[in-house]
Amino acid sequence: MLRQYELVDLVKSYDPYADEEALNRAYVFALKKHGSQLRTSGDPYYSHPIEVAGILTKYKLDCASIVAALLHDTVEDTDTTLEEIKNVFGEQVAQLVDGLTKLAMIEQKSGSSKQAENFRKLLLAMSEDIRVLLIKLADRLHNMRTLGFCPPDKRARIARETLDIYAPLAERIGMEEVKDEMNEIAFAELYKDAHDSIVARLNFLREQGSNIVPKIIKQLEKDMDDNGIKCTITGREKTPYSIWRKMQLKNASFEQLCDIMAFRICVDTVAECYQALGIIHSKYHMVPRRFKDYISTPKPNGYQSLHTGVIGPLDVRIEVQIRTYEMHEVNEKGVAAHWAYKQGQRTEGKNFRWIRELLEILDQAQNPDEFLENTKLEMYNDQVFCFTPKGDLIGLPVGSTPVDFAYAIHSNVGDTCVGAKINGEIKPLRTILQNGDQVEVLTSKNQHPSLEWDRFVVTGKAKAAIRRYVRINKREQFIALGKEILEKLFKSEDQEFSEKLLVNVLSDFEAETIDDIYAKVGEGLVTGWDVLRVVHPGYRQSKLEKVVKAIKLPVFKKNADKKDSLKIRGLIDGMAVHFAGCCHPLPGDRIVGIVTTGKGVTIHTVDCASLHNYEQEPERWLDVDWGPDAENEKHIARLKLMLSNEPGALANVANIIAKAEANIMNLNITYRTLSYFEILLDIEVKNVEQLNALILALRAEKLISHVARAT
């Protein structure tokens, strides 16, 4: 742990005018306030804020940031108030501490949307002051360094959150070292076997070629010196996580990667960067498709460098990165390397355009979970660079389409997009863009976003805008449908219906307006019978009861089988219930009940193909929904898989299903060839969410070429 004078000396070493007295006061204040509090590791709690402040000194942050780092947990974990911080340390520090405290309070909440809500708060805070993000990243980095002292379930949750959110954010602002260390710790926690395997391979390579790196550096230095280029050359290994991720993305083996060993050439000027590249390419064979020019087209975080893969000295496949010393400083420290607050600037300029784009997604998202999903898409690494007809450069993730390009220009351009010219030729909107394409977007005032677009766009901004339009459009349809359902139901049951009656029951359905009730009924979130019974509490005889009497439906003794009655809402207590084998409905599916003479009620999904058999018998259709206890029991789902006919393929499938906490109930091979076979699997799961997660896991298995829910 840094001592008080050591921390002050570190800050003064890069900022001679730093407020030494404020730093000393903040250090002592943190010690006193945290007092005898201990961390999970057993260390004094005040060691944490001091270490966070120490991390920030490496990036030469201003005095206010260091003070805020020392105080960032005092309001949350001690009796300190924000007003006290403001009085003692000033308005600027108080605002930073306030932003960090709100984040910490969100993190302590429980519930499925906690992570999404936390990220939303972080985005809003960092859009006001980017230093909130820098302090938060340092805070998370120190927590990751002490992750081993946490319980296993908490370790996994923190590691996953770090991998999904905080490491990509560090990458977005160019803090490479912070990103790499976070990724490594999280990778080792979440994928220990893969991590240990790659580390073992790297250790083996080091032992085999312990003297290769110095020899390659010596030869590259000679190559540069012979051509009059003054430079500094260093060699490095890629981190285990970056190797693993590249293996996943490129579906490549360890041996196929040519940039496991990378060499960095730093020169004085941009012209010398291209000179050095020419020397490398003239002397060594270039690996196809391995050259990238991030100097003329920088990454969104400001990263600039030339990357090329070659068969280098000693016939070893290597990656060579060429940059200026100034670029290297920015690439390593990101936004902190050209700290805006030295000039009193705010978080503006090209380096922060992505924050504004994320704020735009926030405005369009329906809920925090959707926002998190779309922003994860936005924090991409690999890019393609395309041009507008005027020559403006637009960076997009790999796999982007003209619709993504249109939304990257402006939301209105995306909303009204009807076609696109790529390099002068009209192409379909689902065409995947390539590096260097010139794209002209064709628009029409009469055009609107299409739900079909959501299937092929890849940027979070495009997905958020499309879903927002579809959501608004769907709501209007749900309102009209819900109103029609209620009017018909009330009329068929000879009950009075009016909007005045609905106004009196708004609170019963957590609705603010009558349209909210209509929309819930139209979407199937609330049944028409629910509304009828609340509006007319004295109502007893229902269409359902009439059907039961008319066709002598079997009903068990009241409460005899309460289990089934709790599974499905909208049925009479004790009624016989069956789940259709044609569609295998699961909690989370929208469902409908079909009355069957002598058997009871059969539950189908609303899109089940067999429902057309009952189109002429509307009296058999029942408006039902899943009950509160539906997920307490297992349900059967059916999957269809296309599997490579290789040894161990079925074992891999069984292992994935077991890890997803599901269970195989039945297996049937329906078709077999020499190279593959098709199987039907009956799987025991709790709900649709669990099934969808399982399907995603199965699709990630390279031996499975197709997997889908069978109907």
The ranges assigned to domains in the chain are: 4-190, 195-337, 541-633, 634-709
Q: Is the pLDDT of residue 131 over 90?
A: no
Please tell me the least confidently modeled range out of 304-308, 375-379, 523-527, 602-606: 375-379
Structural element, H or E, at residue 684: strand 676-685
Provide the pLDDT for residue 125. 66
Please tell me the least confidently modeled range out of 85-94, 353-362, 485-494: 353-362
Provide the pLDDT for residue 417. 92
Is the CB of residue 521 less than 8 Å from the CB of residue 486?
Answer: yes
Cβ–Cβ contacts within 10 Å for residue 12, how many?
A: 15
Topology at the third CATH level for domain 4-190: Hypothetical protein af1432 (1.10.3210)
Q: Which of 76, 84, 360, 684 is catalytic?
A: 76
Provide the pLDDT for residue 554. 45
The structural architecture, per CATH, of the domain 195-337 is: 2-Layer Sandwich (3.30)
Provide the pLDDT for residue 556. 42
Please report which confidence band the pLDDT of residue 363 belongs to, taking 50, 70 and 90 as the band edges: low
Query: 403 versus 290: which is more confidently predicted?
Result: 403
Q: In this predicted model, what pLDDT tens digit does every residue of 656-668 receive, in sequence order?
A: 999 988 999 999 8
> What's the mean pLDDT when you consider all of the chain?
81
Who contacts 65 (Cβ-Cβ below 8 Å, separation ≥6)?
A: 56, 96, 131, 134, 135
Q: Is the pLDDT of residue 206 over 80?
A: no
- Three-state SS for 492-533 is HCCCCCCHHHHHCCCHHHCCCCHHHHHHHHHHCCCCHHHHHH
Burial readout 258-278 (b: 16 or more C-beta within 10 A, e: otherwise): bbbbbbbbbbeebebbbbbbe
Q: Is the pLDDT of residue 27 over 90?
A: yes
Interval 115-130 mean pLDDT: 64
Q: Is 589 considered catalytic here? A: no
Interval 110-118 mean pLDDT: 52
Is the CB of residue 707 less than 8 Å from the CB of residue 640?
Answer: yes
Distance set, CA 111 to CA 116, 152, 337, 368 (Å): 10, 19, 38, 12
Q: Which of 20, 43, 77, 293 is catalytic?
A: 77
Interval 259-275 mean pLDDT: 90
Share of the chain above pLDDT 70, in %: 82
Q: Is 369 considered catalytic here? A: no
Q: Classify domain 634-709 at the CATH superfamily level.
A: ACT domain (3.30.70.260)
Query: 281 versus 534: which is more confidently predicted?
Result: 281
Cα gap 333→324, rounded to integer Å: 14
Of the candidates 318, 300, 301, which has an alpha carbon nearest to the alpha carbon of residue 309? 318
Provide the pLDDT for residue 113. 52
**Confidence (pTM):** 0.56
Burial readout 213-243 (b: 16 or more C-beta within 10 A, e: otherwise): beebbebbeebbeeeebebebeeeebbbbbb
Q: In this predicted model, what pLDDT tens digit does every residue of 216-245 receive, in sequence order?
A: 999 999 999 999 999 999 987 778 888 888
Q: Which DSSP symbol is given to 292?
A: E
Cα gap 377→464, rounded to integer Å: 10
Cα gap 189→158, rounded to integer Å: 10
Query: 502 versus 542: which is more confidently predicted?
Result: 502
Who contacts 469 (Cβ-Cβ below 8 Å, separation ≥6)?
A: 415, 448, 449
Query: 175 versus 347: which is more confidently predicted?
Result: 175
Q: In this predicted model, what pLDDT tens digit does every residue of 299-348 receive, in sequence order?
A: 766 789 999 999 988 888 889 999 999 998 887 776 655 443 343 444 44
Q: How many helices (H) and strands (E) does the chain have?
A: 29, 21
Q: For the residues of 213-235, what is the DSSP string, one character each? A: HHHHHHHHHHHHHHTT---EEEE
